Each structure stands twice: as C-alpha cells, then as structure tokens.
Chain A
C-alpha cells in the first residue's frame, strides 16, 4: 500500500514529466537532437551556465565551509540569527532575489555598481541561491566531530594550520563535496534569480534555462526539450560524480 503510493507519487511528479521530456527531445530523431544542442547559441548558453555554476559552487564550497565553521566553532552575538538567515535563499522566491539584485547592482544601482549582462552578475545571483547547500551539509558533520583527533594532532607537534589541513579538512571533505554537488546541480537549472541580472543577450549573457524558455515560447518545443535533456544529463553525471567521490571518502573514514 505504502509502496504503491510512493511509486505512484514519484511517477506522477517526476517520472511521467521526465518521460514526456525525453519523448519531446527525441521524437524527431537523434540528428535533430544533435543539431539542437550544437547550435552556436545553445553551446554558448550551456558553456556560460556551466562556468558560472561551477564558479558559484566552488565559491560557496569555500565560503559555506567557513560559514559552517563560525556557526559551530565560534560564539558571537547574533549567531542564532545568522544561523536562521542561512536558509533564507531557499524560502525567498528566486524572482524576488533577481529583482533585488537588479535594483541593487543594475543600471540604477544606488551604489553605482552595474554587473548586469555579465558573467559576474549571473554568478553572484547563483551564489545567493545556492548558499545554504554547503553550509547545511557541513554543519552537522562539524557539530558531531570530536575535538580529540585535532587535539591529538596538536600534541604530536602539528601547528594549527597543519591540524586544519591534515585532520579537519579531510574529515569535512565528503560533506563539502555533497554540498557542492547539490549546489552545482541546482545552479545549472537556475532561472528566476538570473533572468533579470543577465540581460539575456544571446551568445553573450544568456543562460541555458533562459535559452530553453525562449525556444519553448517561440514554438521550438523539440529543440527546447533537446537542450533541456542535455542539461539534465550533465546535472545527473556531475551529481553522481560528486556523490560517488563523497561516499567513497566517507566509507574509507568509517
């Protein structure tokens, strides 16, 4: 009974739309699929999306780990508030974030910073939306980590930096990879927060999700589905790579 509901639910929400997408992508054959994803505009959009997403994920891997660190290891005024704010990018509609960035860092910027229409703007928007992933995956590991291994390293003659690099970081690495993988997968499909700040100039500042949208709204359903499927496959491969590495590391650590 429970199993039936579970499978039915997953089918309805994920599998059926996925099947429809795959059908749409391949209903005119492989050649048509290949043509759709090798259009210069498609390649440019995919490349921009991947690079910005990777940059944002890596930036958040570092900043997110540092944030998790101060939330767990430090004590300061307003810590509880900061901890609560971390999840805000998940709660806030991404379009709201997009509009906010546009007014703050757009042509009418009160601080005279205009990052619209460039990879910088896109990356900043993605960094915002994916901020919670690394923080929330590293935080519990850091909380459950005993100080004894770090103390043991110190008594054996390691400096604080050596302790961090050789003991703390390897312990956190699986969770950092998991968080980064999730952030990356989320980033390559990001639309709402990016669409305003990117200006959507084809070949220049158009991300994949926005390109797919423009194809779909101009009646090119097959091409839109082809690019979408390709993006989906990329996300799956990268997510799998991050997860396998993370599980391998975690398994070894036991």
Chain B
C-alpha cells in the first residue's frame, strides 16, 4: 500500500511543527524519516497512523483519503518507541490482542499467533509477561503484535533507540530482512543517520517541520541538497573556506600542491584514524584515514603537511 502526504500541517499551540509536508511513499519501500529531535518526524508518523490530528492537508493510503478515518479502521501496524506493552497480558495475549478484538475464532487465533511468535523467535516466551523480557525481546513482541492484524503499512517510531549497541545492530538487520521478505510498506522514524542509511532504501530528511531532501541513501549522502543535509548526514570539515567530508580530503608532503598546515593531533578510533591539522591562517580541519593509510603516512604531531581534496573527488565533481 502506498502512502501519500499532501501539505500536512500541524501546530502545537502556536508552534508550527509540520509545515506543508508532502511526500509519496511507494508500495513496499522502507522509508526512514530522519531528522534531529524536534523536527516533527514522530508527529508525522502519528498523523499517518491517525493518532494525532492534523491542522491542514490530507493523508491517503493507496489513493484513499484517510484523513478523518480513526486509527482502528486504518489497518496500520504501529510500534511505539517504548514498545507500549500491555503489561497485564502475557506475550501470547499481547500478540493475540488485535485478532481478539477483531473476533478471529480461537483456533485460528492460536495458529496465527504461534506463527508470529516463531517469526519473531519468541515461542519459548509465550507465557511470560512483558516485564520478564529483555529490551530486544519486547521490541520483537511489539513488532509481532503490530503484524498480527496483517497491516498494509508498518510504522516504527525510533524502534532501536532504547536498545544497547549490539542488540540494536542485530535487530536492524533482522527488521530490514523481515521487511523485504514481507514486502510491507514501512516508515521508520530515527534521529540516527547511520541507522537510516543502513536500513532504509529511501530517506526523507526533516528539519524544523519541513522536508529538506528525499532520495536514496547513497544519493542523498553524495549529493546533499542543503547545508543542513550535508551536516546532518555525516561529519564535515572546512578547508580553505570550503566544506568537505573528512574522507574527501588527504594529506601530502610539504612542497606539493595543497594548503600548508601542520598536524596538531592524531586520534585513533579502531579502524579509523583522525588527523587534526591547523593551517597558516590558524583554522583547523580534520582528515579521515583508514588504519592502513595512517600507517603508510605515519603522521606525527607537529609535522608540516599539505591538505588537499582527493584526486578521485575531483573526478566526481
């Protein structure tokens, strides 16, 4: 099911949180709504689900205007940031909830819930209560619960924010694969650009209630439409008044072409090495090197160098 947003506008009191947002989310895509906190991304997601009313514009699902349709009639699976478990119900009953209120017969309900629990690898935990689950398991329970109503759209609000690093990266991969397998149109809200780039096939970048840019992750990363997008999607550094990504510039020996500078710090972060340099005018930039590049270069603090854009970057430009 495709989703189309037409001039969606929302005020909280006198604050304009969404300013005429329009977008077409294609059937089967995994779109990341990416933006800093306060950019309006969660509000937009809630508007798609019908959990928040809008002050202007309308929302269509596969061409049908659902602006005034209550959440219960939209068939949208929604996963909340805090997973919103039904604490008084077992894992099984949490997942079965949607089928129960829709009066699916008991035997069929049992079959479908068992299948979902298998899908999210929670079968051994069917009789447990949410408080007895880990964060990652609660997240998968919330996902199974949302999928139980066979939604045509899946909305995930900061789904990995509350998890520790390792579980987060495992679940990201798992959710991406599951989404591809089910082919369900999905919108994921995140403030983490790395997560958005890794999981989504489409980015919508929001800032202060407006869409800054829409596109495939690689495209947006390489061709940011605005200074905000460039700054938000990855680290930047300034060389001679021009903004670059730190891996787009390199170091050379004194006398070669480039901006003369000297090394003031070398920071080692595992496979990545950051060389901080200061040029003759006193402004600092940093260059991102791989471990291998750094070993070849062997930059020392205090050493004189030149800094220049990489040759391959010029070819692209």
Contacts and interface: CB of A to CB of B under 8 A. Distances in A.
Contacts of A149: 84-87
A170 interface: yes
B188 to A, nearest CB: 16
B84 A154 contact: no
Contacts of B102: 157
Contacts of A162: 101
A155 B101 contact: no
Contacts of B87: 149, 171, 253-254
Contacts of B76: 155
B70 A152 contact: no
A73 B148 CA distance: 30
Interface residues of B, number: 32
Interface in B123-157: 129-132, 142, 145-146, 148-149
Contacts of A146: 82, 84
A1 B145 CA distance: 55
B130 A154 contact: no
Interface string B213-245: 000000000000000000000000000000000
Contacts of A171: 87-88
A152 B78 contact: yes
Interface in A162-193: 162, 166-167, 170-171
Contacts of A148: 80, 82, 84
B178 interface: no
A252 interface: yes
B258 to A, nearest CB: 54
Given A146-B84, A148-B82, A149-B84, A155 B74 contact: yes
B80 A152 contact: yes
Interface size class, chain A: 20 to 34
B64 interface: no
A139 B166 CA distance: 39
Name the prevailing secondary structure of the A interface residues: helix
B97 interface: yes
B156 to A, nearest CB: 12
B90 to A, nearest CB: 9
Interface string A103-143: 00000000000000000000000000000000000000000
A157 B101 contact: yes
Interface in A27-43: none
Contacts of B70: 154
Interface string B60-97: 00000000001111111110101011111000000001
Contacts of B72: 154-159
Given A158-B72, A170-B88, A254 B149 contact: no
B59 to A, nearest CB: 14
B84 A151 contact: yes
Nearest to A174: B88
B84 A152 contact: yes
Given A155-B49, A156-B72, 13 more contacts: A146-B82, A148-B82, A151-B78, A151-B80, A152-B78, A152-B80, A153-B86, A155-B50, A159-B101, A166-B101, A253-B129, A254-B87, A254-B131
8 residue pairs, one from A and one from B, having the closest CB atoms = A254-B131, A148-B84, A156-B98, A253-B87, A170-B88, A152-B84, A148-B80, A155-B78
19 contacts: A146-B84, A148-B82, A151-B71, A151-B80, A152-B84, A155-B49, A155-B50, A155-B51, A156-B149, A157-B101, A157-B102, A159-B101, A166-B97, A171-B87, A252-B129, A253-B87, A253-B131, A254-B129, A254-B131
